[in-house]
Amino acid sequence: MKRSIAAPGSPSDRGLGWFSRWLGAQAEFFRILRTVGWPPLDLAVRIGLAQGFFVSGVLKVSNWATAVELATNVYPVTWMNPVTAAYTGAAIELVGSVLLAAGLLTRYAALSMLILTAVVQSNYNATDSQLFSAALFGWYVIHGAGPVSMDGLLRRGLADSALPLAARIAALLGWVSARIGPIYLSAVRVWLAVALLVVGVQATLRSDLPLDRLQLWLPISMVQIWPPALLLVGALLLLPGLLTRYAAIALALASAGTAMAMPAAAMGILLFATLALLVMFGAGVVSADAVIGRKLRQIYPELEGKPAFALEGLPRVVIVGAGFGGLACAAALRRARASLTLIDRGNYHLFQPLLYQVATAALSPGDIAAPIRPLFRDSFNTRVLLGTVTGVDTARRRVLVGDKEIPYDYLVLATGAAHSYFGKDQWRPYAPGLKRIEDATAIRRRLLTAFEHAESTEDPAEREALLTFLIVGGGPTGVELAGAIAELARFGMEKEFRNFDPASARVILVQSAARVLPTFAVSLAKIAQRSLERLGVEVLVGSRVEGIDAKGVLVNGKPIVARTVLWAAGVMASPAATWLGTEKDSAGRLIVEPDLSVRALPNVFAIGDTASSNGWAGKPVPGLAPAAKQGGAHVARVISARLRGEPAPGPFTYRHTGSLATIGRKAAVADFGRVKLWGAPAWWLWGIVHVGFLVGLRNRVATMINWFWAYLTFGGGIRLITGGEVQPGAER
């Protein structure tokens, strides 16, 4: 049964809503922390645990006589021959450590190493580090390795394979992880809390409690370095399992600081890893946190991803466009008391700033695009529709998608921009622009086909035309395209052709303004132009394009024969203003009010390239990804305030975080106002920022790997000619 909903704007609704949002934000934080933080930490812990055992095993094998002597006299196993014991110990240390580090057969490797650790701890040399190692080994026995492991890669395939008993074993191991794992977490928590309590009480009372026997099973020495107050508070929270994650975070930070400050406390890293289990996975099933969590999930079912309220009768919010602005708005409204519909003509979110790298064969389309639906899998109030919007009926509040009508109470238009040929649309077939994945793959096909035809032709003039690449427009896209094409020709295709040298390709950048990158500082624009020229790019500034056809381009009355011409000179807004029939600027963007609502239509908002806003200290907001994201978040705040009956937030204010453009290897410019960077520092910053803006961990990892490989090998990337052959310069 769903709990009743107070009237929007009532004190009850605002109070419950605030607390529910806080709980949801807390749950989301720890979910993201576990998703992002545990895989690398799990890998580091496995490698760290394996390292000590591997070194010990290598020493035993390299000094076998000493190893047998130790097994005979120092730590004999009464029920095993000394030589057999030495072989067994060395095998566990060598084979088990390799398997554990690789995450292959992790449970079995960890079990053997746990047994070996327990034998050493109980019979020969008791240390705190072995206790923490045993606790971590026990976790791997029960839970297995994380996703960054061979087991993680093979788990699903093995469970669905034809191997005998594979499915049953996988099911059993899954049951152990799900049922025994939470109990084990509770046991680890209580074990650590008892150690904290014993040492804390002794330090507070300043008494000499007999701890010798306890040191065999409790990490007494390690926790003695902490202040008594921290010990007692930590014990009082961990013992019942109350606010366990926060207590573990505080103790983990203390252990990390101790490990760095005191060389003798290197075992603090193992303690840190043990506490990280509690941070990532919680207090376990036997805890106050678990009891409170179950009760809160009954009151707030949205914490489990279940509908917190019925959607019937709630305000309907429709967002058109899943670009940066649309996604930011939809993400901010995923917990709002509203029925949310996100419409886009593609089923993916595209990171447009890196389209030029797909066009120049540096990246695959899949590296810069992410499906939309998985992003909102857990947002019960959000549905995603694939379709092309053809109009908006503002009188009836309907969005027209083909022959369907989507009703709305609030409409957010985040439809982006298209290319503008300044009234010369006849140039479009000969000078394609770069706004969609289809554009990027078509340009890649044209570029690569030009090189292939240049190899096969015997006509020097035709080869020269084929190897001439002209880019119209010297903004960031044009500069990046020119630099990438020049690098592709000079480095990516080296020694691959026999009839010509790819480095002889001619790359021309035509800019009508007096300098490239006119929105950047003059000094950075000059640096960018010099960098382009060092790559061999011909930069024609103050030059006007007067004609484009299948043969080439007419620039300032002079014809330039070029089979490949690319357009990066201008953009125009989507037809959103035509749909609404309202006021627009010269670029077709909707004129919006300070809160980004469309004039005379207070329930319709426009963001990103669709809107003409002066929210940048009275200046027009630039068409950049950060501006779209900030606009989307602001509109979400405005709509949320209206839904709750609260005062509207202030007007939209764009916070400029800087402008970036890359030219080539180790060459980029970054303009942050007073702070300006260029060269290698700007190039690294450009890469970090662009990877950070990508949606999805897989996209970030794949892009970093591809960039790193191409950077080290001068590789040309994804040089595939797909979609059919295109004659350079011909109409598509």
Active site residues: 480
Residue 653 and residue 632: Cα distance in Å, rounded?
12
Phi-psi region at 557: left, alpha or beta (left = phi > 0; alpha = psi -120 to 50): left
Residue 679 and residue 664: Cα distance in Å, rounded?
10
Contact assessment for residue 187 and residue 141, using Cβ atoms and an 8 Å cutoff: no
Phi, psi torsion values for 105, nearest 5 degrees: 50, 45
Residue 330 and residue 4: Cα distance in Å, rounded?
25
Residue 140 and residue 699: Cα distance in Å, rounded?
29
Contact assessment for residue 340 and residue 330, using Cβ atoms and an 8 Å cutoff: yes
Residues 6+ apart with CB under 8 A from 254: 226, 230
CA distances to 242, 245, 284, 385, 650 from 193, rounded to whole Å, are: 12, 13, 14, 51, 49
Residues 6+ apart with CB under 8 A from 463: 454, 457, 499, 500
> Which amino acid is it at 291?
V
Find where tokens 């804390």 sit: 200
Contact assessment for residue 199 and residue 223, using Cβ atoms and an 8 Å cutoff: yes
> Can you say how many angstroms the Cα of residue 107 is from the centroid of all Cα atoms in its chain?
30
Q: What token pair was written down for 684?
A: 């690294």
Phi, psi torsion values for 667, nearest 5 degrees: -125, 120
Contact assessment for residue 398 and residue 318, using Cβ atoms and an 8 Å cutoff: no
Residue 457 and residue 174: Cα distance in Å, rounded?
62
> Can you say how many angstroms the Cα of residue 142 is from the centroid of all Cα atoms in its chain?
29
Phi-psi region at 77: left, alpha or beta (left = phi > 0; alpha = psi -120 to 50): beta
End-to-end CA distance of the chain: 58
Closest residue by Cα to residue 653 from 631, 673, 674: 631
Strand-pairing partners, residue 509, are 471, 539
